[in-house]
Structure 1
Amino acid sequence: MKVAIAGATTGVGRCIAESILARGTHTLIVLSRSAEIPALAERGAIVVPVSYDSPQSLVAALAGVHTVISAIGVHPRSPDSDPQVALVRAAVSANVTRFIPSGWSGTDGGKDDVVELYRYKQPVLDALRQSNLKWSHPENGIFMNYLATPTKGVATLTPLKFWIDVENCKATIPGDGNIKLAYTAIEDVGESVAKALDVPGEWPQSLRIVGALVTHNELVKIAEKVRGGCKPFEVVYKSADEFTKDLVPNPPSIYVNTTTQFSLALLEGRFSFESNFDGVSHQFVQPAEFLQKWWSGLSNQAFGAYM
């Protein structure tokens, strides 16, 4: 069957595209604002340049496509300028069967989501609810790869540090650190989605792909053991009230408060869930294995070889 993916240049979209190509069971159409993505085209992807301001180009690109997967970044936009909304409308016109909107994180918090950036997911979700498309919101929790920043273990993600800074042996943890959280390697997300395409029947509306349920206290203990020479970690625990006080009023950018808002979402339980797609069999990398791979025996002086 034909599968189209938008946002495959980097991040989770790139991992999904590579996994689909590696399995070789489906034709992959890569929707691109630019005409060239050689790394994917050389492996068999059909790269189609599109304009999200041109409904005709999108409908033409989706001819014969069964499933559309979006990994387009969520940004503040009006529905009329939202590329995902344009993609949903084109998918309806092209008689696409299934649509996976960009989610790839925690559960959907709705129009009042504590993570302000995620409130801008609502137009595409509203468009899907009003369509005849089958759709599933992808939820994989926290990408385990961020724990590898700044090594090459971050894979196709932008290097970022959230609650645990393994490089500097520090952690700022929401709550008491005992909340079970969904952590999933981005490579496992890519492979799970690629495998899911072969599963007949309905997908859950909340498509949950989880590699491990682990607490931040457990992650710190694993990281301390792996890093060895810098233990114990310097750990700070912060309450919801403390994170709320950290919010910058009237910030110059929506991204200023994002990490703090993620912390509040974590305390709401938005990253605490298990996998719910039993049709996919996959061996997920576990936190101890992941941290061992990227940090065992790695001194600060050796970072250059891993970046």
Structure 2
Amino acid sequence: MTLLITAANGALGRLVIDSLLARGVAPSEIVAGARTPARAADLAERGITVVPLDYDAPETVDAAFAGVDRVLLISGSEVGKREAQHRTVVEAAKRAGVDQLAYTSLAKIEGSSLPLAAEHLATERAIAESGLPATILRNDWYAENYAANLAQADATGVLLSATHGGRVSAAARADYAEAAAVALIGDSHIGKTYELAGTPVTYDEIAAALGEVLGREVVHQDVSAEELQAALTGAGLDAGTIGFLVALDAGIAAGDLDVEDPTLSELIGRDTTPLVEALRAAHAAA
């Protein structure tokens, strides 16, 4: 059985490959698709086949599918382009007749108001329409995303949000990667849609976790959307980023990332990584 991991040179893709190897998959059975294969030379040195795979270049996608049995489509990072990019991969998978297409989607996608939701939902629908044997991995939020708040929290002692008590069921990227590896090597996961989540936390709890990592008090300051927008504008962020962050907090306030589901822990056979532990590791690696 040959497994293709798209976006294999990214943070999640590399962790998926690590998890596959740890679970006994031979390097010769893994194909790493990378936009720039030269940057994945270390994977090749481990015996993994590295091939060009660019979501914007359909010919590379088709070529990457040669001899592949199962595929993990890791969602792209270019918001606004992802629906077309993902469809390119889905169509190539259908032409290749793969035995399984797994996809990293987003939590509670059908009713989500998050700005990332539309492209994920469109991709899920394209996969369903393709008729391919599929596994949908609806990842909640990455705990490491909050590492971006460490510097500001250290400087000000404040975590600002407009989440109004909303909770986020974040888990470590390695947790989601391990779940993806499990889903790829077991037939029982084909045809399943999984809501994958860690322990739900409020922004008060996230602030406390940031403080524990930094060794100082950090408090959460909940503000209105207008106040958040003004603060982000004052920090010099561009309009697109500001709009995204304000909409993200509105979605969190509405419960779009609040998932209580043990599936992730069940798949990986352990508790998900505590937020403090994930943040501490991300801080140390920065």
Taking structure 2 as the reference length, the TM-score comes to: 0.79
More divergent stretch after superposition (164-173 vs 13-22): 164-173
2:43 aligned partner, one-letter code? L
Within 5 Å, which residues of 2 pair with 1:1-307?
1-25=1-25, 27-36=29-38, 37-50=40-53, 52=55, 55=58, 57-71=60-74, 72-77=76-81, 82-103=84-105, 105-109=106-110, 114-147=113-146, 149=147, 160-161=148-149, 165-168=152-155, 169-177=157-165, 179-203=166-190, 205-225=192-212, 227-228=214-215, 230-231=216-217, 233-239=218-224, 254-273=240-259, 274-276=261-263, 278-291=266-279, 307=286
Check conservation: 1:223, 1:291, Cα contact below 8 A.
Answer: yes
- Partner secondary structure for residue 116 of structure 1: coil
Structure 1 CA distance for aligned equivalents of residues 94 and 34 of structure 2 = 19
Structure 2 CA distance for aligned equivalents of residues 88 and 199 of structure 1 = 21
Q: Structure 1 167/3 Cα, relative in aligned 2: closer, same or farther at 3 Å? A: farther
Q: Structure 1 224/61 Cα, relative in aligned 2: closer, same or farther at 3 Å? A: closer
Q: Cα distance, 1:20 vs. partner? A: 2.0
Unpaired segments of 5 or more residues in structure 1?
150-159, 296-304
Q: Cα distance, 1:93 vs. partner? A: 0.8
Q: Cα distance, 1:253 vs. partner? A: 6.3
Q: Structure 1 282/234 Cα, relative in aligned 2: closer, same or farther at 3 Å? A: closer
Structure 2 CA distance for aligned equivalents of residues 66 and 271 of structure 1 = 32
2:109 aligned partner, one-letter code? D
> Which digits, 9 at most, give the CA deviation of each residue in 1:243-262, with x for residues without a partner?
689999xx976444111111
Q: Structure 1 279/9 Cα, relative in aligned 2: closer, same or farther at 3 Å? A: closer
1:30 aligned partner, one-letter code? A
Structure 2 CA distance for aligned equivalents of residues 44 and 282 of structure 1 = 29
Check conservation: 1:140, 1:182, Cα contact below 8 A.
Answer: no
Check conservation: 1:74, 1:118, Cα contact below 8 A.
Answer: no
- Partner secondary structure for residue 167 of structure 1: helix
Check conservation: 2:114, 2:248, Cα contact below 8 A.
Answer: yes
Check conservation: 1:50, 1:61, Cα contact below 8 A.
Answer: yes
Q: Structure 1 239/100 Cα, relative in aligned 2: closer, same or farther at 3 Å? A: farther
2:52 aligned partner, one-letter code? P
- Partner secondary structure for residue 266 of structure 1: helix
- Alignment-derived partner of residue 157 in structure 1: none
Q: Cα distance, 1:55 vs. partner? A: 4.7
Unpaired segments of 5 or more residues in structure 2?
none
RMSD: 3.4
Q: Structure 1 99/236 Cα, relative in aligned 2: closer, same or farther at 3 Å? A: same
Q: Structure 1 137/240 Cα, relative in aligned 2: closer, same or farther at 3 Å? A: farther
Structure 1 CA distance for aligned equivalents of residues 82 and 204 of structure 2 = 40
Q: Cα distance, 1:89 vs. partner? A: 0.5
Structure 2 CA distance for aligned equivalents of residues 252 and 225 of structure 1 = 30
- Partner secondary structure for residue 69 of structure 2: strand
> Which digits, 9 at most, give the CA deviation of each residue in 1:17-38, with x for residues without a partner?
2322343415111122333211
Q: Cα distance, 1:56 vs. partner? A: 5.2
Which is richer in helix? 2
Q: Cα distance, 1:205 vs. partner? A: 4.5
> Which digits, 9 at most, give the CA deviation of each residue in 1:241-288, with x for residues without a partner?
76689999xx97644411111111111211111243544413422124
